[in-house]
Each structure stands twice: as structure tokens, then as C-alpha cells.
């Protein structure tokens, strides 16, 4: 079992101020694979003080100096790429092939995108008689989740480094191995002491302290909407900037003129990927009524063929959910769907046959759903798809927008004019037309209770910058 109890503060690995150990569980085996410490307010104070002391120096580094450090980080990351994939697979149950190709790939993608954006970013420009200067905001606090662990770490840390900020990271205590490994990489890359600091812990013990800390200038949080509200409230007393990437209940609208087999198959597979633990998952499949029954049958067949297997095995399959808490939540919402009268057409309650140990779940599809059912309103965060019929374009848009969330939306149609028209009316931050994939230079974020601010590429820079006008 790995001993990961130290924190990284001011360029050194240090012991926590007080002992509060937590075992990290492998969700596939239910066995402990590492032990970490849960930090407290004193640990946060030390980390923030280190970041505050480093800011006057690092904020004055030239673009060329920051580029050189980030290029070194990218080299270190790629040299230890397989270690990162293995850590993610063990800590949150991602199949090793998926962890290698997708999960670990996010770290490379975000560091590379921020690096390329930095090379051409305009930190100064003249507007009339005023020189408008974009300057680093200061000390940043990062609170990141377990579902795409290095994705959310790297898409916060990389733009902060690029813009000249200093920072304190609190990775998820559910999946802290990747954060610990990334911290080792930051140390290897040679950033000045105090620029990057890492304190493990839970939300009340570290996250809330960081959000309310008077010397933290901005907080970037990714997680549930419920927790995001608590972070915003904690930050309000010091009027610091808060950016949030929160929950989603994203619609996937399929019109009758789409390639039905392809659109439904892609929608089911997209929903089940990462065992459904993605904030932008296409969790509500809205299908035009004239082809709805066909779509349900296609979805049933596809879901029935999605394999569930151990994370250590190569191949395309889904692994377990991340924890017992998550397993119980998903089982409870499947039960709710059945109780409220939705038609269970694939999967359902309990674990797949042969998986008594571990938090494995069945790929599940509900049909006959209306948008007022619990499974259509709440973010399930498991491999559970709801299918809802619609009669017209206007009704599809109305159902799609009838949610407190607005992170992503998906749309399949053979009519280009309709695609543009409908996309323009969807209240979501990211729209995918006919299965188009988003790249690392696109803005990532949502409307309404899905958060505020944008991440990825040059769009991720803005939240880390203050704007100063110098008139003469």
C-alpha cells in the first residue's frame, strides 16, 4: 500500500500538522491501495502563504520563461504518462485502455493547449489613449473531482502557470493518486518554490478553508452543483473570483432525418463511457416520435452488448463506479425510475453477473420517460440513459432547455439549416452537431447551474487575469 501522507508546500514534501489518515480504496476490489492525510486549516495557511510569497516573483517571469518551464513539465508528463494512466485506473476504476487513451491524454492535451495559447496571447494592447494590460490575478485555489482527475487538475493548473499565477491544489480525496503523481511532475519540472502547492483533504477541512481564505484571490471548483454553491458562499465574504464547472443533464436530440442507427448507437456508447461519470454525458436522449420505438430497440441492443469488466484488462469495456457512495446513489435513482413508471429496457438494479466484489453496475436504459421524472431531472452520474419522445422541433427545444443545467447538448439531423436553428436556441455552453468532437482549444463550460467561466485553451486564461487600464 502506497504511503502518500505528505503534502507539497513551498517546494518541499512536508508532513501534515496533525495526523488524520484516510485509506484510498480501489473501487474494483474494495481493497485499500494507498493512505493519504486529510489536511486542516493550518496546512492550508502554510500552502497559501507559500503561494503568496512566490507570487511577486513568478508573476514577473517573462512569457519566454514560463514557456520554458511548461515545456519541461510537458516533457516530464510524457515520460511518466503510463504511470498516470495506471494511477487513474486504480483510483477510480477506469479501464486501463480508456485511462491510457482518454484520461491520461487530457493532461497532455491541456498542457499543450495552454502552452500554444501562451505563445501568441496578447497580454497588452492599446485602445485609444489607454494601454490595456492583462495581469495574473494572484493566488488561486483549485478544488478538483475524482471522475476525470488529471483532466480537471491540468485544465486549471496549466492556464494558471501560463498567466503567471501561483496556486494551491486540493485533489479529490476519493482519487488522489493522480494528483500526487502530478505534484511529483511539477517538482521535477523545476518551478520556483511556492508557485505550486498541494494539500490533500476533504471539502469541509480543506476546500471550505481555501474558498474563504483572505489571501486566496480566486477559487476554481469542479464538482457537484450542491458543493459549488457552498464554495461560492464561503468565497463571498472575501469577494474573491469564483469559477465553477458543475453538473449537467445534457439533452441529445435525435430527429427522424438523422442516421438513426449511428446516432442512437453513438448516444448510448457516449452515455456509458467512463461508466457514466461525466458531467457532460448525453444523459437525456430526446427522439422524434415517428422513430422513437425504433430508437428504443436500437438502444436496448447496444446497451445489452456493452461489456463490463475489470479495469486492469485491456479492451473497450466499462469498469466500476468510483465508490460505494456513488454505487448506492445510482442504485437509488434506478429504483426511483422504476417506481415512477419508466420502462426499464436494459440493465437495472444490482451488479452484473460475476461481479459480486467492486462497485460494478449494469448499463441501463429507461424508455417511456417524461421530463418531470426524477431520472430526467437529477444528475445520476452512472451508466443510466433516459429516452424521451418529442413531437416537433419546438417541443424538442422546450424539453432540452427544461432543466436547471446548461452544460452541453447534442444534436443529430440531416438538415443543416435545422441544426443551426436548433443549436442557436439551446441554452447550453457546448453543442455537438452530428457527433462532432470537441478539441482542447474549444471553450468548456456551461449556462445556468452548470457553472460560470470557461476552461480549456486560450478561453481558460481569462479567469486567471485581472484587467488594468493605463491612460496617458
Domains in the chain: boundaries: 2-246+450-471, 251-440
Q: What is the tens place of the pLDDT at every residue in 190-204?
A: 999 999 999 999 999
Q: What is the tens place of the pLDDT at every residue in 347-367?
A: 999 999 999 999 999 999 999
Q: What is the pTM of this model?
A: 0.97
pLDDT on residue 287:
98
Q: What is the tens place of the pLDDT at every residue in 404-444?
A: 999 999 999 999 999 999 999 999 999 999 999 999 999 99
Nearest to 152 by CA among 220, 219, 76: 220
Q: Give the whole-angstrom CA distance, residue 302 versus residue 267.
A: 10
pLDDT band for position 263 (50/70/90)? Answer: very high
Percent of residues, the chain, with pLDDT higher than 70: 100
> Catalytic one among 25, 140, 279, 458?
279
DSSP character string of 104-166:
HHHHHHHHHHHHHHHHH--SEEEETTEEEEEEE--EEEEE--SSSHHHHHHHHHHHHHHHT-E
pLDDT band for position 22 (50/70/90)? Answer: very high
pLDDT band for position 83 (50/70/90)? Answer: very high
pLDDT on residue 89:
98
Residue 98, H or E segment: helix 96-98
251-440 belongs to which CATH class? alpha beta
> Catalytic one among 25, 91, 173, 245?
245
Mean pLDDT value of segment 292-297 = 98
Q: Give the whole-angstrom CA distance, residue 26 versus residue 358.
A: 8
* Range 2-246+450-471 classified under CATH 3.40.605.10: yes
| Cβ-based neighbour number of residue 90 at 10 Å | 24
* C-alpha count within 13 angstroms, C-beta hemisphere, residue 78: 10
- Cα torsion angle, 55, 56, 62, 65, sign: negative
Mean pLDDT value of segment 149-154 = 98
The mean pLDDT value of the chain amounts to 98
pLDDT band for position 278 (50/70/90)? Answer: very high
Residue pair 352/361 in contact (Cβ under 8 Å)? The answer is: yes
Residue identified by cell 436504459 is: 365
DSSP alpha helix (H) spans, 323-392: 324-339, 374-377
Terminal Cα distance for the chain, rounded: 62
| 3-state secondary structure at position 215 | coil
Cα–Cα distances in angstroms (integers) from residue 417 to residues 144, 250, 260, 297, in the given order: 39, 22, 19, 29
Residue pair 362/351 in contact (Cβ under 8 Å)? The answer is: yes
Size (the chain), residues: 472
pLDDT band for position 102 (50/70/90)? Answer: very high
Residue pair 21/37 in contact (Cβ under 8 Å)? The answer is: yes
pLDDT band for position 464 (50/70/90)? Answer: very high
245 catalytic? Reply is yes
User: Cα–chain-centroid distance for residue 295?
Assistant: 29
279 catalytic? Reply is yes
Q: What is the tens place of the pLDDT at every residue in 333-348?
A: 999 999 999 999 999 9
DSSP character string of 397-421:
HHHHH-SSEESEEEEE-S-HHHHHH
pLDDT on residue 389:
98
| Cβ-based neighbour number of residue 261 at 10 Å | 12
Q: Give the whole-angstrom CA distance, residue 242 versus residue 383.
A: 30
pLDDT on residue 167:
99
Amino acid at each position: 500500500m502506497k504511503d502518500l501522507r505528505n503534502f507539497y508546500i513551498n517546494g518541499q514534501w512536508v508532513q501534515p500538522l496533525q495526523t488524520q489518515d484516510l485509506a484510498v480504496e480501489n473501487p474494483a476490489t474494495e481493497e485499500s491501495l494507498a493512505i493519504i492525510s486529510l489536511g486542516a486549516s493550518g496546512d492550508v495557511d502554510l500552502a497559501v502563504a507559500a503561494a503568496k510569497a512566490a507570487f511577486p516573483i513568478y508573476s514577473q517571469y517573462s512569457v519566454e520563461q514560463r514557456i520554458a518551464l511548461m515545456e519541461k513539465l510537458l516533457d516530464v508528463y510524457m515520460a511518466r504518462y503510463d504511470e498516470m494512466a495506471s494511477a487513474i485506473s486504480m483510483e477510480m476504476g477506469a479501464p486501463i485502455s480508456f485511462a491510457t487513451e482518454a484520461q491520461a491524454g487530457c493532461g497532455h492535451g491541456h498542457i499543450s493547449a495552454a502552452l500554444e495559447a501562451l505563445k501568441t496571447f496578447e497580454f497588452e494592447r492599446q485602445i485609444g489613449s489607454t494601454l490595456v494590460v492583462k495581469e495574473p490575478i494572484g493566488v488561486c485555489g483549485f478544488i478538483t473531482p475524482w471522475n476525470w482527475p488529471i483532466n480537471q487538475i491540468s485544465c486549471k493548473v496549466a492556464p494558471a502557470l501560463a498567466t503567471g499565477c501561483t496556486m494551491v491544489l486540493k485533489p479529490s480525496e476519493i482519487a488522489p493518486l493522480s494528483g500526487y503523481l502530478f505534484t511529483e511532475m511539477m517538482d521535477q519540472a523545476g518551478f520556483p518554490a511556492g508557485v505550486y502547492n498541494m494539500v490533500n483533504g476533504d471539502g469541509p477541512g480543506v476546500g471550505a478553508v481555501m474558498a474563504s481564505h483572505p489571501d486566496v484571490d480566486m477559487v476554481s471548483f469542479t464538482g457537484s452543483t450542491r458543493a459549488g454553491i457552498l464554495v461560492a458562499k464561503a468565497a463571498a465574504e472575501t469577494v474573491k473570483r469564483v469559477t465553477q464547472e458543475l453538473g449537467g443533464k445534457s439533452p441529445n436530440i435525435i430527429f427522424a432525418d438523422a442516421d438513426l442507427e449511428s446516432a442512437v448507437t453513438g448516444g448510448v456508447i457516449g452515455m456509458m463511457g467512463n461508466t457514466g461519470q461525466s458531467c457532460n454525458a448525453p444523459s437525456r436522449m430526446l427522439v422524434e416520435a415517428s422513430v422513437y420505438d425504433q430508437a428504443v430497440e436500437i438502444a436496448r441492443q447496444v446497451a445489452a452488448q456493452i461489456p463490463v469488466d475489470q479495469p486492469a484488462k485491456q479492451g473497450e469495456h466499462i469498469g466500476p463506479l468510483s465508490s460505494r457512495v456513488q454505487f448506492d446513489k445510482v442504485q437509488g435513482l434506478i429504483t426511483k425510475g422504476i417506481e415512477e413508471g419508466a420502462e426499464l429496457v436494459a440493465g437495472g438494479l444490482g451488479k452484473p453477473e460475476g461481479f459480486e466484489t467492486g462497485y460494478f453496475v449494469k448499463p441501463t436504459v429507461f424508455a417511456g420517460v417524461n421530463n418531470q421524472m426524477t431520472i430526467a431531472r437529477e444528475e445520476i452520474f452512472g451508466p443510466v440513459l433516459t429516452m424521451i419522445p418529442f413531437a416537433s422541433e419546438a417541443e424538442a427545444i422546450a424539453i432540452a432547455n427544461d432543466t436547471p443545467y446548461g452544460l452541453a447538448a447534442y444534436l443529430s439531423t440531416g438538415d443543416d439549416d435545422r441544426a443551426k436553428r436548433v443549436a442557436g436556441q439551446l441554452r447550453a455552453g457546448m453543442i455537438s452537431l452530428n457527433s462532432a468532437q470537441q478539441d482542447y482549444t474549444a471553450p468548456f463550460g456551461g449556462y445556468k447551474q452548470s457553472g460560470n467561466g470557461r476552461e480549456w485553451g486560450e478561453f481558460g486564461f481569462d479567469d486567471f487575469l485581472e484587467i488594468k487600464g493605463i491612460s496617458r
